Amino acid sequence: MTQIPSPAEQDNVASSAAFQESAFTSAAAANPNGRSFLEKALSFDHGRIRHKLIPWAMKGGLALLDQGVFAGSNFVMSILLARWLPPEQYGAYAVAFAVFLFLLNFHQALLLEPMLVFGSAVYRNSLRGYMKALLIIHFCMSLFMSLGLCIAAAVAFKMGKGYGLPGALFGIAVAAPTVLLFWLTKRTFYLKLSPAPSAAAAVLYCILTMGGLALVYRQMHHLSPLSAFLLMAFGGLGSSLVLLWYLRSRLSSTQADPTVLDTWRRHWRYGRWALGANAMMWVPINAFYPILSRFSGMAQAGELKALMNFAAPMLQACAAIHSLMLPYAARVLEQRGSSGISVVLRRMTLLCVAFAIPYWIVLLLFRGPAFHALYSGRYSEVAYLLPIVALASIAGSAFFGPSIVLRSLESPASIFAAVSVSSGISIALGIPLTRVWGVGGAVWSIAISEGLAFAAAIVLLRRKARSLQPSSPALITAPVGE
């Protein structure tokens, strides 16, 4: 209930307001320029704030919904597999999913990231032809991916690798082309900062995969790594076809369409460094699944996956921010040049960290009930490592800030250098630590790698800023506030 001030309190408020007005008037009389300065400092253009803030808040919310629904579907599937499968089979799923993430990073480096940079600038007036060229490139890449995965599945089967690993690799051979096509079509809408259709397609993907999951479980009362990846393939294909039909009537070109060869050359010049950077970014977390399975067995790989599932929501939230903010950052830096680097860096870093810290505070307070609710009493023996996972996740979220700025400056080589140093140190320390301490050694190695990557990216961005303005003082300061 709202309290009504007493008459005495109202008199005090009125007296205070009168005193402030008198003081302000006196200051203005003493200094004619003082009033305009104070008014400018203390006043707000509410209409301008609403005009800018509300659309960005809606777009940001839709981007988070898009990423959250898509990742949430796969997250639910991963949790159900952790509850229903033996630890060894869940470890096989974790190893296979790590392979899928490597392919996603490969595809992202050569298609998705250059698309967000070039599609919002160089090719913004020929998007229809640009999209056709990207689809052809995607089809060729998918053939090589699927062929390689089928060979890997056959080799694993011949070697007698159990726990469902051959079937999981075959499932990725089917799922990777369709899911990556889904990502490619979704990203097209971010070129125009319009994530609403992409979010709707993510909801469709969720319906298809979760509906298929319910049907398979009702008929078979069992899930396997193979069936999980086939469900992902079904959802990715159905959602991609809907988006392609939607884009067919809405993409237009006012300039000559780029050729496939020209598009590939431009993407390769940008993406060859991003490819190395993404491969190195894959290493700190995902490389430890096969390392653990080699030293300690598939069951401990499953334990690591159970821990890292808690970090997945923050990773997906930062990926959503990355998808939305990369075209924005590229445009701001194109318009303002090096003078906009410091502002964009602080905003992007604080935006990513602002999601991570509250999430981990709540989760760490209730980690016991969280493990019980998600895994039905399983994997509680590694719950003590969750604070280390939280440190790694927060450092990884902060890394997205300088990463967005460096990619906007078309400097993926700097990101490659940063993550190469951190990943190299992580593997050098992680292999002996994992061999001695198992899951604990792997988690500590991941946390060290994420912290080093953030520090190295900040240092390299400072150098990049100085190279853009040699005669100016350092542009970048630590991203702790504006």
> Could you tell me if residue 305 is inside a domain?
yes
Sign of CA dihedral 374, 223, 199, 409: positive
Tokens 């988690």 — which residue? 443
Among 470, 226, 464, 474, residue whose Cα is nearest residue 333: 464
Task: Say how far residue 273 (Cα) sits from the centre of its chain.
Answer: 19
> Could you tell me if residue 26 is inside a domain?
no
Q: What's the structural domain count of the chain?
A: 1
pLDDT truncated to tens, each residue of the chain (482 aa)?
Answer: 444 444 444 444 444 444 444 444 444 444 444 444 444 434 445 555 455 555 555 666 666 677 778 777 888 888 888 888 888 888 888 888 888 988 988 888 888 888 877 876 777 777 788 888 999 999 999 999 999 999 988 888 887 666 678 888 899 999 999 999 998 988 887 776 567 788 888 889 989 988 888 888 777 767 788 888 998 999 999 999 988 888 877 776 666 778 889 889 888 888 887 787 778 878 877 888 888 888 888 888 888 999 999 998 888 778 777 767 777 777 777 666 666 677 778 888 888 888 899 999 999 999 889 888 888 878 888 999 999 999 999 998 899 888 888 877 777 778 888 888 888 888 898 899 998 888 999 999 999 999 998 999 888 888 887 777 644 444 444 333 33
| pTM (two decimals) | 0.69
> Could you tell me if residue 33 is inside a domain?
no
The pLDDT score that the predictor gives to residue 476 is 40
Amino acid code (one letter) for 67: Q
The pLDDT score that the predictor gives to residue 142 is 93
- Outline where DSSP puts E strands in 290-384: none
The pLDDT score that the predictor gives to residue 361 is 94
> Could you tell me if residue 199 is inside a domain?
yes
> CB of 239 within 8 A of CB of 110?
no
> Could you tell me if residue 313 is inside a domain?
yes
> CB of 388 within 8 A of CB of 445?
no
> Could you tell me if residue 2 is inside a domain?
no
Among 327, 278, 285, residue whose Cα is nearest residue 108: 278
Among 256, 127, 170, residue whose Cα is nearest residue 135: 127
> CB of 341 within 8 A of CB of 476?
yes
Using CA atoms, how far apart are residues 241 and 246, in angstroms rounded to an integer?
Answer: 9
Among 37, 34, 113, 481, residue whose Cα is nearest residue 272: 113
Which residue range forms the structural domain that includes residue 328? 57-468
> Could you tell me if residue 35 is inside a domain?
no
Q: Using the CB atoms, write b or e for 293-313: b if 16+ within 10 Å.
A: bebbebbbbbbbbbbbbbbbb
> Could you tell me if residue 38 is inside a domain?
no
Helix runs in 159-195, H state only: 165-190
Q: What three-state secondary structure class fits 71?
A: helix
